Structure 1
């Protein structure tokens, strides 16, 4: 009789052959015995039907399932519904994991009660060196436990490499799209983290679950800035779904409209500065300065604040665009 796998790794994908093959290659070198886990590739309606997987041999059980093109949120849920493991590991198709990653995530789920576990991923540009990847994507430090794990704010939840007990995943309500299909990125990971928090779960980053996220948005400042613009536009719908969530996302604190009589003088000044810095002429000037510095004088002390202001300007523009879209929808 075939042994039921303890872990189900769920990877949604759309037309991404090379990243998927790299991810599977890393999963084939895990410290766990192959019978302990299965890998489910959820093809989100790719034109090639992920047919490149046919005939490939891996030590673990590999399952390929397909759904109509309904997005990564629905693909992850579909994979979870079709899975057999008692622990679900959601993994992006552009992630590669270290040999001990799955074992570490499984141990974290067993060690901590009511926990959603994240991997400790290094963010990398997939096409090699990128000044923006080096200087523009620094994450703040977080307190660590004795074994290197760290308890994170729930708003830092992401599905790049996330593990949760199967029963807990369905108790929390699976993944949901808080934007109602109005935008992408759709904040389904933060939404999940928030609902997990409301259910009494905590978010733990597992230091031993190491890996790399080869993120295309780190290739250049302009790519990252426009991704932030789209994300902040859809954040408006996130806050419509969860009004209590906004104070927990500090990066948006100075991107929202001024609340006269409520905002502090310092916050009002920051919001006014963001308003000025988000104008197209100012953003064009800042982006031009960044290009010159990258080419002739790539000093981190100059590039880091410049990257922050450019990204912040596009975030401001995106959030205001979302507010306008919400206003138009309410008029209908």
Structure 2
């Protein structure tokens, strides 16, 4: 039987960082205020791999705000594991270095473990993005890459978790094992894999929406950040599924599985018609299918954002979504997986059931669009 999580048991806060001395200083100041109001014992463990002036600034911040500083490798997973190795308390709290902690965060995490009828192994807090969003931030927002940071507000429990603002019982962490540090890239994927092992133990990942971190938009507001994340996040799905093959399940295909082959078919037919001197009805079909899909995508984006969106932002968001999907497919193909375009990572039946209705609506709209294009092509062929 696990020991209940209480303030008296204490909390060890683990912060991996690299070359973010200014952001880290603000973050540690907010943590210092939060720890001062917390009634139980606490510690902050910063694991850093910076050098020169950045390192000296981080050392000064840790001294100023009562944080332990450790030397870590240039690998976020290994940094978190090293922090756990030096942690003393019953609750492990993982926080990123580019956030600000809102008051009451620690106590909100502790409350999340007191759920009648269920055994909670971890708790996911809420991350809200703040600051002025520039051009690339609007692209990121439209792409949906930031959606998972607000999952704690949407659901009482989580199928998987992200590592920022995540607490884990120390006894659970020791039982299931450390963050997997053999994955490619320096970060990414290990939070999904670790949270799956928690759920696989029969434990719940509770939401703690009152445990809030404010995340600066600054670290997302550049093209490199989006290029890097779409590559890592897309590719890492295959590595998590390779480690846990039971996660690789059939999923309802995305629109491109139908749109791209049909568009290519129409385009080829139109090109053949044009070379034979006939009206290129097929080219009309290809253009119409793409145009109608783009119009629908734009309408959905405007509705979700409750206002008109910048078409350039949306076009780039579509590009980054396609890039994510391309790396996802490439990752699975590289491991010899079959048909990754109709398979994906599914953690449990709740995750699968939750997507049924929106996927059904999406496919209904798509098939109506395809049927409309076909009918128009038939009419045009007869008229011309």
TM-score by length of 2: 0.63
Equivalent positions of 1:186-225 (< 5 A) are 186-216=188-218, 218-220=220-222, 223-225=225-227
Unaligned 5+ runs, structure 2: 1-7, 264-289, 299-306, 337-384
Partner Cα distance (2:151, 2:79) in 1: 33
Moved more, 87-96 or 50-59: 50-59
1:167 maps to what in 2? 171
Aligned-residue offset at 1:131? 2.4
Question: Does structure 1 conserve the Cα–Cα contact (< 8 Å) formed by 2:143 and 2:320?
Answer: no
State the partner residue of 2:50. Answer: 46
Distance, in Å, in 1 between the alignment partners of 2:165 and 2:244 is 24
| Aligned partners of 1:115 and 1:203 also within 8 Å | yes
Task: Please give the alpha-carbon distance, in whole angstroms, between the structure 2 residues aligned to 1:302 and 1:190.
Answer: 33
The worse-fitting range, judged by mean Cα deviation, of 230-239 and 110-119 is: 110-119
**CA shift at 1:29, angstroms?**
1.7
Report the CA distance between 1:115 and its aligned residue: 3.0
Q: 1:14 to 1:47 in 2, by over 3 A?
A: same
Residues 21 and 228 of structure 1: CA distance in aligned 2, closer, same or farther (over 3 Å): same
User: CA RMSD for the aligned pairs?
Assistant: 3.9
Aligned partners of 1:23 and 1:96 also within 8 Å: yes
Which runs of 5 or more structure 1 residues have no equivalent in the other structure? 254-263, 291-297, 328-332
CA gap of 1:142–1:125, structure 2 versus 1, over 3 A, is closer
Query: d(CA) in 2 for partners of 1:231 and 1:141?
Result: 14
**Correspondences of 1:57-136 after superposition (within 5 Å):** 61-69=66-74, 71-111=75-115, 113-124=119-130, 130-136=137-143
User: How many residues of Structure 1 are paired with residues of Structure 2 in the alignment?
Assistant: 286
Matched, 1:311 2:320: yes
CA distance in 1, matches of 2:237, 2:173: 23
User: Does the CA-based 8 Å contact 1:116-1:203 persist in structure 2?
Assistant: yes
What secondary structure sits across from 2:12 in the alignment?
strand
1:271 is aligned to 257
Question: CA offsets, 1:20-66, max 9 Å, x none?
Answer: 112101112216347621100011x3223733244457786411111
Deviation at 1:241, TM superposition (A): 0.9
SS in 1 for 2:174: helix
Query: 1:25-44, aligned counterparts within 5 Å?
Result: 25-30=29-34, 32-33=37-38, 36-43=41-48
Alpha carbons 2:125, 2:165 under 8 Å: kept: yes
Q: Which has the higher helix share?
A: 2
Q: 1:140 to 1:274 in 2, by over 3 A?
A: farther
Distance 1:274 1:32, change over 3 A: farther
- CA displacement at 1:218 relative to structure 2: 3.1
Q: CA deviation at 1:232?
A: 1.1
Q: 1:20 to 1:274 in 2, by over 3 A?
A: farther
CA shift for structure 1 position 221: 6.2
Q: Deviations over 1:264-311 (max 9, x none)?
A: 7xx38642436799xxxx9xxx9xxx9xxxxxxx92385786455323
Residue 136 of structure 1 deviates from its aligned partner by 3.9
TM-score by length of 1: 0.71
